[in-house]
Amino acid sequence: MTIVTPVGMSRKREGRGKFITLEGGEGVGKTTNLPFIQDYLQHHNIPVVVTREPGGTRFAEKIRHLLLDAESEPLSEQAELLLMFAARAQHIRHIIEPALAHGNWVLCDRFTDATYAYQGGGRDMSFSTIEWLENLVQGPLKPDLTLLLDMPVETGMTRAKERGGEFDRFESEKISFFERVRQAYLMQAERYPERIKLIKANQPLIDVQAAIANAVQPLLM
Ligand code: T5A
């Protein structure tokens, strides 16, 4: 679970902050690596706001609860997609844009690449519909850097199982769903090689974090 930590929000910095997103399938290590990236940035005197999707504001967290609830009535693909973007619209308006405008960096656990992967790949929804909603909700806002943690689906699921806890509505999907999610993520990485950096996630944590630091470092220039 990620929590919203508006570290350094009160310090106005020159210029606009940078927007970093962390992506990948289930159990690849996003939550594990967020504090590492946060510490890395703070070590370089960069105030960072850590947040997540779906969620990040009180209202968007309520939408998250609806989306992840494994006991809910079956959700149509359209309702799921629209709720993702409804939560995102609130998150951008109240957290992401103000933080970036204030000169803070924003580190977000999942963003719109997850929608291409889960709703586009997993649910087989049209990429052009997602793109239309992306433009409507985000305007020109795009991450400056996306770290895509990638590894075989089975390994991620095993890690998620070993971590324990109840499975949510997405985690209860079949392996074939997550294979499509992974392929859609990899397609996004091919589509945006400048922005999306692929990080091999099935290696020791110390090596994952070295690769993450390598990918983040050029943004500090
Ligand atoms: N969603 C989200 C959509 O469908 N569309 C969207 O647009 C958006 C934004 C959100 C769900 O919403 C969906 C996708 C998701 O299903 P979530 O909580 O953000 O859910 O995402 P999850 O993938 O469920 O997050 P997890 O908490 O399951 O996975 P993480 O955070 O990637 O994995 P983490 O860090 O908890 O690690 C799992 C286990 O592996 C260990 C950890 O200690 C932990 O026990 N681990 C390692 N072990 C060995 N070596 C390493 N290198 C390791 N790294 C971590």
**CATH code, domain with 72:** 3.40.50.300
Does 10 map to a domain? Answer: no
What average pLDDT score do residues 179-208 get? 98
Is 150:24 a contact under the CB 8 Å cutoff? yes
Is 188:43 a contact under the CB 8 Å cutoff? no
Q: What is the pLDDT of residue 145?
A: 98
Residue 69: count other Cβ atoms within 10 Å of its Cβ: 12
3-state secondary structure of 177: helix
* Cβ neighbours of residue 153 closer than 8 Å, sequence gap 6 or more: 25, 26, 175, 178, 179, 181, 182
Q: What is the pLDDT of residue 31?
A: 94
H helices of the chain, in order, are 30-43, 58-68, 77-91, 97-101, 112-115, 127-138, 153-163, 175-191, 205-216
Structural domain total, the chain: 1
Q: What is the pLDDT of residue 161?
A: 86
Q: What is the pLDDT of residue 132?
A: 98
> What mean pLDDT, rounded, does the chain reach?
93
Dist. CA 30 → ligand 1 center (Å)? 5
Q: What is the pLDDT of residue 160?
A: 87
Ligand 1, pocket residues at CB < 6 Å? 24, 26-32, 52-54, 84, 109-110, 114-115, 118-119, 159-160, 163, 170-171, 204-205, 208
The candidate with the shortest Cα–Cα distance to 22, out of 174, 185, 217, is 185
Q: Residue 88: which domain range?
A: 19-220
Q: What is the pLDDT of residue 11?
A: 53
Q: What is the pLDDT of residue 165?
A: 83
Does 140 map to a domain? Answer: yes
Atom of ligand 1 nearest to the CA of 162: 45
The candidate with the shortest Cα–Cα distance to 138, out of 85, 102, 99, 184, is 85
Does 44 map to a domain? Answer: yes
Dist. CA 193 → ligand 1 center (Å)? 23
The candidate with the shortest Cα–Cα distance to 100, out of 143, 149, 43, is 143
Does 8 map to a domain? Answer: no
Does 182 map to a domain? Answer: yes
Does 2 map to a domain? Answer: no
What average pLDDT score do residues 124-145 get? 98
Q: What is the pLDDT of residue 9?
A: 47
